[in-house]
Each structure stands twice: as structure tokens, then as C-alpha cells.
Amino acid sequence: MRSSAMRDLMALTQRPDVISLAGGLPDTTLFPAEDLARHLSVVAAESSARALQYAPTDGLSDVKQAIREVLRAEGDDADPEDVLVTTGGQQVIDLVCKTLVDPGDVVVAEAPTYPGAVPAFAAYEADVVQVAMDADGLRVDELEQTLDALAEEGRSPKFVYTIPNFQNPAGVTLSLPRRRRLVEVARERELLILEDNPYGLLRFEGAPLPTLRSLDGGEFVISLGTFSKILSPGLRLGWAVAPRPVLAKMNIGKAASDLNSSSLTQLFVATFFRDGDWRGYIDKQCALYRARRDVMLEALQEHFPPGATWTRPEGGLFLWVTLPDGLDTTDLLAKALSRNVAFVPGRAAYLDGRGGTSLRLNFSGVGEDDIREGVRRIGVVVGEQIELLARLTGRRPATPGGSAHPASPAADPALADVLELPRRPADPGHPRRGSSSP
Amino acid sequence: MSVVAVLKGGRSLERQVSLQSGARVEDALERLGHDVVGIDVDHDLVRRLREIAPDVAFVALHGRDGEDGTVQELLEVVGIRYTGSGVSGCVRASDKVLAKHEMRDAQIPTPDSLSFNETAFKELGAADALDAVEQRLGFPIVIKPADQGSALGIKFAASAADVPAALVAAFSYSAKVLLERYVHGHDLAVSILDGVALPVVEAVPVDGLRYDFAARYTIGGTRFECPAELPDEVTARAQELALATHDVLGCRGFSRVDLMRDHETGELWVLEANAIPGLTDTSLLPQAADAAGIGFDELVGRILALAD
């Protein structure tokens, strides 16, 4: 579900006078123009004809070597035969849905989930069931309960969609014990997992954790990777590593969609990985984003009112703020836009109308001054709304959203405040799951 | 043929709808043989208008600035004829509170309502009067930003517990909000073109979904029937009320008046008028015109001819 109202509001976040903390952009100004020119010249000199020609649907072997280096950097590995080069990571989500999902099939996703996956799930008419997260990522125990409940209805998900590292939008990371358990659950129930890992190498602190695919050995895990965040989204280059029967179908789906991903960008990436310092470039990005994250955390501390909570990501591009009950971040965005600042309202990350009190902030795409000023402006409008709400509820107990609905169980109340959002029923103005049109 | 500047986009929250309306209008005007210049309304609006010096401006803006008289005032000052309502009609129609008062004074039936601005709550302790407000209107109550054209910020309060959050939401869009008694029933829309009420459009719930507040604002939750299957006297009454509202508010050329038909009593209630209703391919005015045998190009041509 995405209301037309939210679409209209999101369109306004692109205005040039708006400080947008709504995007998901890496800072591509970091990549030296002369490097781009140099590597492209090498491509032109060495393989002009190939760069201008079609490529095999599954990708050029040159770029598969680069993909292998990225996988190895995260403790994984893959036979090039098991890799499908795609047009960005987004195409993997599309192809997995195309391959596996018939209308009405269940897909399990995290709550909240990547807003960009929502239209893909909706387009294939998946019945998306969202499972809560906390500071340690997906609640695998709740996943198991959900799977049991579905099994009682005679239903089984086609796959579980998860972003284990610095999740988009929540900014949290799946803990090692939960990774192990998730992989076990997949094995026990013969359930496919789509592991979306765009930011795994953008870690600023803490020890790297093994990928789900490396823990599973690639039997039940489809791994999604991309050069978008570690190198450039303009390249539109990603990949899937999948069990062979699934990969074969995805390959057919891709051939139907676009035959092959751009040969030119595949060769550029291959050249850059061969001649350039790709690890150094990631280090540069990490240093920059880490500083920006810190600025954002400080600004939140300074400008956001008590009662607001936020996650503290160890990497990636996003953090997730949850405001006190009674505020609605879709409406808040309208007010924020009048002060020329933007964020992503939490509802964009749910298919069932939840997320109304949360918002996603991006810290990679804008400079430190804009982060400070943007967070300050949002803090001001949040403060105004909280003050107004207090005046309005002063005369009666504050039970915004209706008191007839029981609070949902949460293992750890402290964490529940950060991430779980099933406390409020779906707003009457927003449909529940199943009532939306694709 | 004349040079027509199509004003579209702008900075209002309804920018996207306006861009769609504007694009469609431009195509129609070109087919009608006019020399068309599209202007995405921005800081340089006046400068561009002077530069282009069009014979007439087609205002395809929705929401703040475009529909509230601001742009119309500028066009008057610059001395360019423009389509649709003049400044006063825009001011009265776009301010839901003012429009309600005008309607009430003219004995046009409109659901009982009250309005407050933000300072009433911040500085005058209006929160203490909320129980009296609720008692007078009775639940459910619809809470609306006073000057927001689309469905943005419109909230439904089933009980007193819902009111604070709904007010905060509505105040996100406007410094003034309207609290209005909710009419259980179907939405009707009557468009006016050149002093004549077009066939009635009725919102009908899709696939037996309960027609409630949520369905009204859910994509795909409703479909629109035109002409509405209503008893002749209801159609006539709806058209009469719409025309009266259009006149009372001082709208010019065209407008769209939204009504509710109580599903129990059959009574008709006027909610509001839109001085510049949408002109996209799913908008209600073009549908109504089509039902009256007026194609889109002809509709645009007639609106242009009514410019003043």
C-alpha cells in the first residue's frame, strides 16, 4: 500500500531547496572524475567492441571475478556458474518474485522493510507478512511463530526477505546467534531466504558477521549483492548468487526483461577492480559516512524531544526514528516540507498501514551542515506537534489511535520502543493488508 | 488562435496532480490549434509571464497559491486574462471555513462544523472546550485542514480518543482546522460549467467493500459512476445545490461541488467547492463533462473561452 497522498508528498522531496534526508544515495562526489575517465579510457582501449556489444545474460566473466572479490571480502565465495549479473540489486528482487511468486503467495519480510521492495511485492500480488525486528534484527522466534501459524492455514511462504546488515530502513544488524538460527529454520522447513546485502562492506565499527549464505552453504539462501552502494548506483549493476534451479529460472526471467545488463558498466567495474583501489574507495566512503552518522546522532540528541528514540547503526546509510504515539510521520512530512526538509515516513516501509510513528533518515547523501540543519528543522516540527498534542490530551488520558487495541507482546520493552510498531492499529485513512491494490 | 500559458505544478502539496492536469490541458490546447507555453510555477512566474505575454493564462494549478487566489491576484496585476474563478471566488472556495459560513448564511445545507486555528489551542486553552465541541457535533467527526484541497490531512475521529492525534495531523497542513459532523453516506460530485450543472458523479465502493471513511481514501477502494443512478429528484436537487454553492462563493466559469447523500435519510449536504478541480484522466469534472457529451478538448476549449 502506498497512498497517493504519500506519493505526492515524496515527489516534493526532490525540490532543490529541500534538504532531503529522504534519499538513499551514496555520495558519488567521492569518486574522482579523473579515475572515472581513466578506467573508461582503458575499457575503450582494451575492449571497445565488447563494451558496445551484447553480453551473455548471466554476465561477463570479467565482472564475475570482481563479484567474487566482494563476496570473499565478506567471508563468502561462489562459483561463477552460480552468479547472475543483474541490473542493480532491485532486479534481483524483481526476478525472485517473478520466479517464485504467484498471486496470493506469502512472502515474509521484516517490519519495517525496504520501501523499494514494496512495489515489487505488490506488483506480483504477494501476500506480504511482516515480522517484527528489534535491535538484533529480525525476531527469528517470531518468524517461527508466524511460520507455524501459516502452516496451520496450510500456507508456506515462497521466501523470507531479509536485509541482515544495517537494515534499510531500520539501521539494525542481525546478530550472529539469530543468523545461525535463521539458517537452521530455513533448513528445517526447506524455506528459501532472500538475503539482501547492499551495505555489508560499509561497516564503520564492530566485527563483521558472516553472511547467511556462507552459514548455509548456498542451499536455501539466495544472496543479493550490488555495486550501487560500494561503488556507484549509476552503474546499475548488481548480482544474485542462488541455488542452481532457482538461478536457471531467474536467468530466463532476466533474458525476457533486458537480455543482459550493460556490457559497458560491467567492463568498467571489471577494470576498476583490476586496476583501481576498490577497497580504498570503500574505506573512504566508510570514513565519510561514519562522520556523517555521528553528526546525525549528535543532532538527534540535541534537537529531538524526549520520547523520541532512534537506532544507532554500525554501518550503512540509514537510521530509524520512532516518535511518541499520537504523531503521524506522513502528516509530519507535509509540515517538514513547509520548512524545506524531508525524510521517508515510516508507512512506506510497511504494507499494512503500520509505521505511522516512525521515519527513516539517510546520513550518506548530504553534507554534515545539511544533516545538522535538516535534523534541527525536523526536531522543531516534531517538538511543535508534541507540544500541541500535550495541550490537546491534557484533559484526558493520552490514548491516541484508540485505546481498544491491546498492546502487542514485546520481549524487551526498551527495544520495543525502538523498532516494533504494532502498538497502533492501522489508521482509518490507511488500508490494512489485503485491501490495497497493486 | 491565441498564445496560451498553462500554469501548472507549483509548490503546493498537489503539485503532482497539477502537473498531470497541466500536461493534459496543454495537449488539448495544441489540438485546438493554440500556441501553448507550459509554465511550472516558480519564483520567476511574473518575469516569465511578462516575457511570454500570453493572450490568456490557463490556470491548471491545485491547492495553495494556485487555487486560493494568490496566482489570480498576480495575473490581475500583470494584466493577463485567466481561466476559472477570480480572486474572490478562489479565496472563498479554498478556505473551507469561510465557504461553510457563506453556505450557511445562504441556507445551503452543510454539515454542522466548528473551526479553530492553532493559536486557539496554544494560547486560548481551546482544548478545554473540546468536550463541548464533541458534544455539539456528535461522533464520528471529520477533521480537515481548512485550506488543503486534496484528501491530505483529512482524519476521521470515531471517538474522543482519536481527536487529539487527528487535530495534530490536520494542523500539519494548515494553521486552521475544521471539525465537521460526519455524514454516513455516499459522496456525490457535481461539476459546474458555464452556469450549468453537469451530470452527477457518485463514488461507489468496489466489490462490496463497506463504504466507509477508509474506503473513500484508499486507492482502488471506490469507483465512480457517472451519471449516478439516482432518483431524478435527487439528481435535480444535487445540481440545484451545487449551482447555488458555485454562485454563493462567487466562482466563475467552472468548479466542482462535493456533496454527501445520507444513506438513511437521503438528505443532501454540501461539503465544499473546488475552484480548480482536477483535469487528469481520472478526475471527476472531465468524467461529468464526458457524460454530458462534452469531450475533453471541447471542455478545455470552453473553459478557455470563459476566461476573463
Minimum distance, in Å, between the CA of residue A7 and any CA atom of chain B: 9
Its pTM stands at: 0.87
Helices B45-52/B70-78 angle, 10° precision: 40
Query: Do both A243 and A390 map to the same domain?
Result: no
Query: Do both A39 and A22 map to the same domain?
Result: no
* ipTM rounded to 2 decimals: 0.86
Query: Do both A66 and A120 map to the same domain?
Result: yes
User: Where do the DSSP E strands lie in A13-80?
Assistant: 19-20
Query: Do both A120 and A249 map to the same domain?
Result: yes
Whether B158 and chain A come into contact, CB under 8 Å, resolves to yes
Q: Which residues of A touch B (CB under 8 A)?
A: 1, 3-5, 7-9, 11-12, 15, 326-328, 331-332, 334-335, 337, 385, 387-389, 391-396, 398-403, 427-431, 435-437
B81 counts as catalytic: no
d(CA A222, CA A91): 13
Q: Which of A254, A275, A296 marks a domain boundary?
A: A275
Minimum distance, in Å, between the CA of residue B115 and any CA atom of chain A: 15
Arithmetic mean of pLDDT, A216-236? 96
Query: Do both A376 and A364 map to the same domain?
Result: yes
Would residue A189 count as lying in a domain? yes
Q: List chain B pLDDT tens, one digit each, 308 residues.
A: 799 999 999 988 888 889 999 999 999 999 999 999 999 999 999 999 999 999 999 999 998 889 999 999 999 999 999 999 999 999 999 999 999 999 999 999 999 999 999 888 888 888 888 889 999 999 999 999 998 777 788 999 999 999 999 999 999 999 999 999 999 988 999 999 999 999 999 988 776 555 566 666 666 667 889 999 999 999 999 999 999 999 999 999 999 999 999 989 999 999 999 999 999 988 899 999 999 999 999 999 999 999 99
Q: Which residue ranges does chain B devote to CATH 3.40.50.20?
A: 3-82
Strands A106-111 and A159-162: parallel
pLDDT tens digits for A374-432?
Answer: 999 999 999 999 999 999 987 443 433 333 333 333 333 344 444 543 333 333 333 33
d(CA B197, CA B163): 36
Q: What are phi and psi of A30, to 5 degrees?
A: -70, -25
Q: Which three cell numbers stand for residue A121?
A: 511485492
From B127, B173, B214, residue closest to A429, measured CB to CB: B214
Determine the residue type at A93: I
Measured in whole angstroms, the distance separating CA A312 from the mean position of its chain's CA atoms is 16
A111: Cβ contacts below 8 Å, ≥ 6 apart: A130, A131, A132, A133, A349, A350, A354, A420, A421, A422
Cβ contact (<8 Å) for A389 and B159?
Answer: no
Minimum distance, in Å, between the CA of residue B119 and any CA atom of chain A: 10
Cβ contact (<8 Å) for B168 and A388?
Answer: yes
Would residue A176 count as lying in a domain? yes
Would residue A427 count as lying in a domain? no
d(CA A241, CA A63): 14
Mutate: best of A8, A337, A423, partner B, most B CBs <10 A: A8
**What share of chain A has pLDDT > 90, as a percent?**
83
B184-305 fold: D-amino Acid Aminotransferase; Chain A, domain 1 (3.30.470)
Q: Which three cell numbers stand for residue B240?
A: 440545484
Query: Are B251 and B89 contacting, i.e. CB atoms less than 8 angstroms apart?
Result: yes
d(CA A375, CA A310): 13
Whole domain around residue A361: which residue ranges? 4-29+281-394+407-418
Mutate: best of B131, B142, B154, B168, partner A, most A CBs <10 A: B168
Whether B106 and chain A come into contact, CB under 8 Å, resolves to no
A400 contacts in chain B (CB < 8 Å): 161-162, 164-165
B233 counts as catalytic: no
Picking from B49, B67, B55, the residue whose alpha carbon sits closest to that of residue B13 is: B67
Would residue A402 count as lying in a domain? no
Would residue A317 count as lying in a domain? yes
Arithmetic mean of pLDDT, A236-262? 97
Q: Which CATH architecture describes the domain B112-181?
A: 2-Layer Sandwich (3.30)
Q: Which residue ranges does chain B devote to CATH 3.30.470.20?
A: 184-305
Give the HSE-up count for residue A108: Cα atoms under 13 Å, Cβ half-sphere. 29
Nearest CA in chain A to B160: A402
Measured in whole angstroms, the distance separating CA B40 from the mean position of its chain's CA atoms is 21
Q: What are phi and psi of B20, to 5 degrees?
A: -70, -45
Whether B104 and chain A come into contact, CB under 8 Å, resolves to no
B255 counts as catalytic: no
d(CA A225, CA A70): 9
Would residue A437 count as lying in a domain? no
Query: Are A249 and A301 contacting, i.e. CB atoms less than 8 angstroms apart?
Result: no
The total number of structural domains in chain A stands at 2
Would residue A304 count as lying in a domain? yes
What CATH number should be reported for the domain whose range is B3-82?
A: 3.40.50.20
Q: What is the CATH number of the domain that holds A145?
A: 3.40.640.10
Query: Do both A323 and A355 map to the same domain?
Result: yes
d(CA A336, CA A343): 8
A326 contacts in chain B (CB < 8 Å): 164-165, 168
What pLDDT does A3 receive?
Answer: 52
From A12, A402, A437, residue closest to B162, measured CB to CB: A402
Query: Do both A270 and A313 map to the same domain?
Result: no
What pLDDT does A424 receive?
Answer: 35
d(CA A18, CA A20): 6
Query: Do both A42 and A179 map to the same domain?
Result: yes
Query: Do both A176 and A130 map to the same domain?
Result: yes
